[in-house]
Structure 1
Amino acid sequence: MDEITLFPQPRELERKTGGFTLNRHTRVFAADSAIGATLADYLRPATGFDLPVHPLDDDILSNAQNAILLAPEASDDAEGYRLEVEPGRALLSASQRAGFLHGMQTIRQLLPQQILASETQAGVDWTIPGVVINDSPAFGWRGIHLDVGRHIFPVAFIKKFIDMLAFYKFNTFHWHLTEDQGWRIEIKKYPRLTEVGAYREETVVAGAWDQYDGASYGGFYTQDEVREVVAYAAERGITVMPEIELPGHAVAALTAYPELGCAGAGYRVRTTWGIAEDIFCAGKDAVFSFVNDVLGEVLELFPSQYIHIGGDEAPKARWQACPACQARIQAEGLADEHELQSWFIRQIEAWLNERGRNLVGWDEILEGGLAPNATVMSWRGSDGGIAAANAGHDVIMTPNTYCYLDYYQTEDTESEPPAISAILPLRQVWQYEVIPRQIAADKRHHILGGQGNIWTEYMPQSDHVEYMMFPRAIAIADVLWHHPDERDYDALIARLGRHLPALDVMGVNYRPLND
């Protein structure tokens, strides 16, 4: 029997003899017709088979042949599924839609890789090998972050990106929408955010600090486009979590509405990378009215339970020199500017909590005291996540030492496309331990999961994003879903060697396994 290669690796897989071969007379039976239609849609382009979807009943479940059966089962595992393939039929069981969707991705990977083609493939034996798979994820949060503030990408690529997340059983797309270098989401009450804040005069040349390309750059997503992306993701089992950066990474917004900064004037959309001194003023009530208005429109677009507000890399020099910020510190009885940032974040959290949403922030939100119900995204290594979890807060682990996919993939940087100077090879990603040993046993449940992060300072094109993402994101998917106790790197490379041609079929760029 041929070796089966699946990413992420399932929790339990038993190989059986034989298999089930699809043909144009195969039927799909489903208790939920929409779920059945989704599977038929996945199989149609490459096979050319327009598989009919019929209701499922007990007699069909017991006796149907030349059929794929999608059967509900009682389980508390929202994302788990069971797949049984034998001659004449395949039975996919799950308790909820997410489990069915994950099982469908497993079926796609079990079939010949031509199933991933967008056009009909002739002469292919569409056989699913005989298996029994019982599968469910180790972690409930499995995400990938994409920064569209530094460089923006068309909706068509965002959809392709989401398709790849679904293929590898991620369930969260963290969409980083605002930055010093560009504001990328339409806010109807504040049109200058996109009229002005979405465009920069030029961009610093990769690898240089004082050379610029001289070309205006920008763009944004309309609210209709955002709705389209959110709906597209939901159909594929992906939740889109937006990020609106506060109080730092705000220069694009301040250029559009300078009265929201401490100085009140003199801003321009940033053309270089790095950390800007100018941030939202914490002493002006108008800033909180602005934030509430913006987030109000954001909540209408994104049903995500979690809303990311940034909270990272917010220098305090402007607040130290700002009379309004110093007055706020005095009025609120705060010790310093770090506590002022914590106070700032708590105002936003209270507003979000009143509307039934949860705040997520980068681990800098720990400084000055953590907001009561905040979830921490630990990026500066694992220390912030360890501290937050041990204090009883939920945590998403995304340490840059294992999860930052904008880092070079090899020490031979001269042979690689431009990237930030740090190095993160596939071998190191594969060693990613989601729950650090320093977290107390009774606090480990606070680790919701993890994600990979893609920052796009050096990625102006979508094929560059894909090159930096793959195959490292596949290893992250494997760790977050399967979380193997032993990490055999040679075995991983062998599996990837068999699997990566699937990306060629899908038209996805990736870094070859050449070191």
Structure 2
Amino acid sequence: MKKTRYVLALALCGLTAVAHGATPSLIPMPAQLSESGEGFTVTAQTPIVVDGGDADARGAADYLASLAAHTRHLALQVRTGVPESGAIVLKRDPQAPVANAEGYVLDVTPQGIRVTARDGAGLFYGAMTAWQLLTPAQGSGDVRVEPVHIRDEPRFTWRGLMLDSCRHFWSTDEVRTVIDQMAQHKLNVLHWHLTDDQGWRIEIKRYPELTRIGAWRTPPTVGKQGEAKPYGGFYTQDDIRAIVAYAAARHITVVPELDMPGHAQAAVASYPELGVTGTRPPVSPDWGVNPYLYNVDDHTIEFLHNVLDEVMALFPSTYIHVGGDEAVKDQWKASPTVQARMKALGIKSEDAMQSWFIEQMGKYLMAHGRRLVGWDEILEGGVPPSATVMSWRGTQGAIDAAKQGHDVVLAPAPQLYMDSMQSDRPDETTGRLPSMSLESYYRFEAVPKELNAAQAKHVLGLQATLFTEHMPTFRHIEHAAFPRLDALSESAWTPVKQRDWRQFLARMPSQLARYRTQDIAYADSAFAVSVDVDRNAAITSGHASVTLANQAKFGNVHYTTDGSEPGASSPLYVRPFAVNLPTTIKAVALADDGTALAAARTRVLDLPSLRTRSTGELENCPGSDFRLRVQPTPDATSMAPTYLINVFDNCRMVRAARLDGIAGIRVETATLPRNYALAHDAKLVVAYKSTAPQGELVVRLDSCRGKEIASMPLPTDQPATFTLQGAVAKQAGTHNLCLAFTSPISGPIWGVGAVTLLPADQASP
């Protein structure tokens, strides 16, 4: 009762607080935290005090003040001078009881909030924790901060996020938004992917064609989409200097990546003599693994050294990333010149040739006081002793490299690849499958169990990766990154024994509120309520048993059955409940304070909707598990619509369809570009025999080799979207349906938006 009265009294006074004894909503969770004594109320009259002449402390204080003003509408003034009572104090102390420069101590007492650290980074991270204490929930004005003693420092030295600016180009303001969120999550490495087949994004003054030509591509079009406009952009050297400085002020190191020897098509398009064939390709409009490599002559090595000179002048980071991934060696194998070079060097294989190539870069970087980092393919054929390996093909690369004595960074796909979707929900946006949930990010362990204690010391840390082929807008970036970045930050910062998934979820409502105040379009996939029924049983009986749940299994789920918006006064879901058809279910998960954890989700339950499967509810046909959710064009400007496709097999499966009384089928279809470079996997693409030049959509019963029960010709003019509707041979019972497009595989991919089974009275075209 005392706790309830305490919170109520604060509410009546216009203050916000967390009930005494509750775990503060801090992310990442500090290494050590205890609570005792009395707290402190921060008001507009509370100053932030730093020592005069301490530029790092002043920078942290100014950033704390700007965040408090933006997210809490609390105007705090920064002062210099003697620490005073009733203030937020940021003070450097060489004797602070922390183990490294990023550690800090934070105390909240009736006299104020005090942060001490040995170095500027620690003061900054302490200031970020202080800001989170000031924002325990969405609100504005004065805030009561509970008494805490925090002694904190990170588990890993590399806490990273990779941003791909090649596949899609992000403005400098958007890059700064990423940096600000990294800072608030105590991440300290921005790995910036700046060159690839689809675009060269960094100005190199010595080689202007790299951006005049290499920064622009022409997106693919199909059918009636019309002529495409060039897409692209690049960062000037002044842009880069400003971004590097912006990151440094937030204690983030920017590590640039220039991919080599593969993923070089944009560079070869700019300067064909850098390539193996001597011909000029276009800047690639295709996602995937393109064939263009740098050649291995002295001119190209000198070119890349000259590029690195300008890169090192822009980026003061110790590490320079040189890629090294997905270098298909076909061009090298077919080139007499490359083969002669290998023979002259005494190199026996193309993998060893790549190792030699990477070594030329590693030696050059070492001579300039820098270190090379590359994707785990650099292990093939040998790797320079000084190289750091970034493991992306699972964790085996990290295991092998650490056992060989190399430092490693864990960035495995799909576990930490943010282009993997966050859920299998029908209303998800673009990305790869399988999905990687918020919980999977939280439970990721960066130190492989295969390493002993000495080998484990080579694990520098971990990194999430934002490859952006299927993220055409910055809203896609925000949806993919947040809130999974919260889980990653805790995995990277917090000791294993301090991590607790359920407690993490309890801290998430405050973090989601911080996102809302900063206009961060985070995904609510983990908390969105799914409305599940047995569709076939409902079709047969006219009523349905409804089950409600969300991915995280968190929150209080409330629902309505009359189409109204659910809230805290709506029925609380406890167990499955029955409804008669037709009805509309709306459901939402609420935090304990009544705030919504996700937008309410709606499901209409009637015969037409139960006979319809949306794109996300369709499955792959047997034979290939590749799944990708895409938008109608590679450079779409919205989040929807999306289509779940398999680039190897243009076929979708409707599972367990009740066909009693069904006389027709309607398929909402989209014409999608087949812009996928598959390299050696191109041979896996399935082709279906057609009876018309443009092909048809064939529906087969039970399997893709089953009886044909429907066939609908595809349009010859390839409109952007269209509807196919046709008769279905009479069937009884429940069956799988295989929907295969028989058009030539040199043409577009057909995306299925929805499939609806039609009874006799609706089946006429």
- Which residue in 2 is equivalent to 1:102? 125
Name the CA distance, whole Å, in 2 between partners of 1:21 and 1:324.
Answer: 73
Question: What is the distance in 1 between the residues matched to 2:85 and 2:226?
Answer: 65
Q: How far is 1:201 from its partner?
A: 1.2
Query: CA offset at residue 353 of structure 1?
Result: 0.1
Do structure 1's residue 402 and structure 2's residue 415 form an aligned pair? yes
- Residues 336-369 of structure 1: per-residue CA shift (max 9 Å, x gap): 1000000000000000000000000000000000
Map of 1:330 onto structure 2: 343
Aligned to 1:479: 491
In the other structure, the counterpart of 2:288 is: 274
Instruction: Report the equivalent of 2:256.
Output: 242
Deviation at residue 263 of structure 1 after TM alignment: 0.4
Report if aligned partners of 1:177, 1:243 keep a CA contact under 8 Å in 2. Answer: yes
Residues 196 and 507 (structure 1), Cα distance of their counterparts in 2 relative to 1, 3 Å cut: same
Shift of 1:48: 5.1
Other-structure match for 1:16: 36
In 2, are the aligned partners of 1:203 and 1:215 still within 8 Å (CA)? no
> Does the CA-based 8 Å contact 2:49-2:89 persist in structure 1?
yes
After superposition, where does 1:336-485 map in structure 2 within 5 Å? Answer: 336-412=349-425, 414-485=426-497
Aligned to 1:130: 147
Name the counterpart of 2:77.
51
Q: Does residue 302 in structure 1 map to residue 315 in structure 2?
A: yes
8 Å contact from structure 1 (residues 83, 93) kept in 2: yes
Match in the other structure for 1:141: 158
* 1:80 CA displacement: 0.3
CA distance in 1, matches of 2:225, 2:408: 39
Identity across matched positions, percent: 40
Describe the SS at the equivalent of 1:18: coil
**2:61 matched to which residue of 1?**
39
Q: Can you list the C-alpha shifts for 1:74-115, whole angstroms capped at 9, x where unaligned?
A: 355110000011112211010011101100110010013579
**C-alpha offsets along residues 136-179 of structure 1, whole Å, 9 cap, x if unaligned?**
00000000001010000110010011000000000000100011
Partners of 1:12 and 1:203 lie apart in 2 by: 53
Q: Which residue of 1 aligns with 2:47?
A: 27
- Cα gap change, 1:382/1:255 in structure 2, threshold over 3 Å: closer, same or farther? same
Deviation at 1:370, TM superposition (A): 1.2
- Contact in 1 for aligned 2:276/2:294 (Cα 8 Å): yes
Matched, 1:261 2:301: no
Offset at residue 41 of structure 1 (A): 4.2
Q: Evaluate the alpha carbon distance shift between residue 410 and residue 388 of structure 1 in structure 2; reply closer, same or farther with a 3 A threshold.
A: same
SS of 1:130 mapped into structure 2: coil
CA deviation string 1:10-66 (max 9, x = no partner): 01111234322233433333235421353144325344535142134xxx4xxx211
- Say if 1:204 and 1:271, in contact at 8 Å, map to a contact too: no
What secondary structure, in the 3-state scheme, does the structure 2 residue paired with 1:400 have? Answer: coil
Query: In the TM superposition, what is the alpha-carbon distance from 1:127 to its structure 2 partner?
Result: 3.0
Q: Is the 8 A contact 1:204 1:272 kept in 2?
A: no
Q: Is the 8 A contact 2:107 2:148 kept in 1?
A: yes
Structure with the greater alpha carbon radius of gyration: 2
More moved, 490-499 vs 505-514: 490-499
Contact 2:479 2:523 (8 Å CA) reproduced: yes
In structure 2, the CA distance between the partners of 1:29 and 1:266, relative to structure 1 (3 Å rule), is closer
SS of 1:401's equivalent in the other structure is: coil
Alpha-carbon offset, residue 489 of structure 1: 3.3
Residue 224 of structure 1 pairs with residue 238 of structure 2? yes
2:460 is matched by which residue type in structure 1?
L
Residue segments in structure 2 that go unaligned for 5+ positions in a row: 1-18, 529-550, 552-765
Say which SS state the counterpart of residue 433 (structure 2) adopts: strand
For residues 481-513 of structure 1, what are the alpha-carbon distances to aligned partners after superposition, in whole Å with 9 as ceiling and x for unaligned? 004247643333232234211110111011112
Quick one: structure 1 residues 14 and 486, their matched pair in 2 at CA, closer, same or farther if it must change by over 3 Å?
closer
Which residue type is aligned with residue 30 of structure 1? V
- Runs of 4+ that moved beyond 6 A: 210-213
User: Which residue of 89, 92, 102 corresponds with 1:69?
Assistant: 89
Instruction: Look up the equivalent residue of 1:491 and give its one-letter code.
Output: Q
C-alpha deviation, 1:275, in angstroms: 0.3
Residue of 318, 321, 324 corresponding to 1:311: 324
Separation in structure 1 between the aligned mates of residue 466 and residue 299 of structure 2, nearest angstrom: 33
Distance in 2, matches of 1:450 and 1:360, equals 14
Specify the SS of the correspondent of 2:206. coil
Does the aligned pair in 1 maintain the 2:333–2:350 contact within 8 Å?
yes
- TM-fit CA distance, 1:410: 1.1
Bigger mean CA offset, 486-495 vs 501-510 = 486-495
**Distance in 2 (alpha carbons) for counterparts of 1:180 and 1:289:** 21
Quote the Cα distance in structure 2 between the aligned partners of 1:341 and 1:502: 46
Q: Is 1:81 matched with 2:104? A: yes
Structure 1 residue aligned with 2:762 = none
* CA shift digits 1:412-448 (9 cap, x unpaired): 3x42112123321222212211000111221111000
State the match for 1:118 in structure 2. Answer: none
Contact 2:47/2:76 (<8 A) preserved: no
Taking the aligned partners of 1:193 and 1:292, their CA distance within structure 2 comes to 15
Give secondary structure in 2 for the equivalent of 1:144.
strand
Name the stretch that deviates more: 300-309 or 420-429: 420-429
> 8 Å contact 1:406–1:420 — kept in the other structure?
yes
Q: 1:251 aligns with which of 252, 257, 265?
A: 265
Please report how far the alpha carbon of residue 72 of structure 1 lies from its aligned counterpart in structure 2 after TM superposition.
2.0
- After TM superposition, give the deviation of residue 380 of structure 1 in Å: 0.4
SS in 2 for 1:220: coil
**What's the secondary structure of 1:423's corresponding residue?**
coil
SS of the residue corresponding to residue 356 of structure 1 reads coil
The TM-score, its normalising length taken from structure 1, stands at: 0.93
- 1:68 to partner: Cα distance: 2.0
CA distance in 1, matches of 2:413, 2:227: 29
Give the residue type in structure 2 aligned to 1:252: A
Question: Secondary structure of the equivalent of 2:516?
Answer: helix
Q: What is the identity, as a one-letter code, of the residue corresponding to 2:264?
A: A
Aligned twin of 1:168: 185
Q: Give the TM-score of the pair, scaled to structure 2.
A: 0.63
Residue 38 of structure 2 aligns to a residue whose secondary structure is strand
The answer to whether the Cα contact below 8 Å between 2:61 and 2:78 also exists between their aligned partners in 1 is no
- Number of aligned pairs? 498
Letter in 2 for 1:145: M
User: 2:292 is aligned with what amino acid?
Assistant: D
Distance in 2 (CA, whole Å) between partners of 1:457 and 1:334 is: 35
8 Å contact 1:202–1:212 — kept in the other structure? no
Contact 1:12/1:134, CA 8 A, preserved across alignment: yes
Q: Deviations over 1:284-343 (max 9, x none)?
A: 111111101111000000000000000000000100111221112111111110000000
Q: Return the structure number with greater relative CO, CA threshold 8 A, min gap 6.
A: 1
In the aligned structure 2, how far is the partner of 1:491 from the partner of 1:134? 19
Uncovered stretches (5+) of structure 1, i.e. residues with no partner: 116-120
C-alpha separation between the residues in 1 aligned to 2:172 and 2:153? 31
**How big is the shift at 1:213?**
7.6
